[in-house]
Amino acid sequence: NQSSWLMVISCDSLIPATMLWQKLQPVTTQINKNQEADKKVICLTDNSHLYPLLGLYQLSIEPDLKVYINSGERRVMAFIQPMTHAVPLTSNWQHLTNFNTPIDFERACTSLCNL
């Protein structure tokens, strides 16, 4: 059984889409092979938190997510956490995940050049 997946990349990430896909896509095969039906989100993680906007989402979560949001919930992390398979962030991607200041942006550009 192959599932349909949607790749999500935050607008403040400089991780190349092809590299993110190559890192996360093999996990979809692992999930299907091991019949881990409860794992419907694959995203990057570091030592302190998940990166839900750098991941793959099974399209089958849409109905449940709509119900969750329409019921007034806004904490999407609480919704996805139980169904997440976390993949360790590649160390040289750390500064590419997001940036909020000019210094962060400069650091990201330097990191991008070093890929």
The pTM assigned to this predicted structure is 0.86
Which residue is listed with tokens 């806004």? 74
Cα 64 to the center of its chain, rounded Å: 19
Q: Which domains can be identified in the chain, with CATH numbers?
A: 5-89 (3.90.550.10)
Cα 56 to the center of its chain, rounded Å: 6
Cα–Cα dist 93/112, whole Å:
8
Phi-psi region of 101 (alpha: psi -120 to 50; beta: other; left: phi over 0): beta
- Tell how strand 5-9 and strand 41-45 pair up: unpaired
Give pLDDT tens digits for 60-94.
999 999 999 999 999 989 999 999 999 999 888 98
pLDDT given at position 79: 95
Cα–Cα dist 114/58, whole Å:
32
pLDDT given at position 2: 62
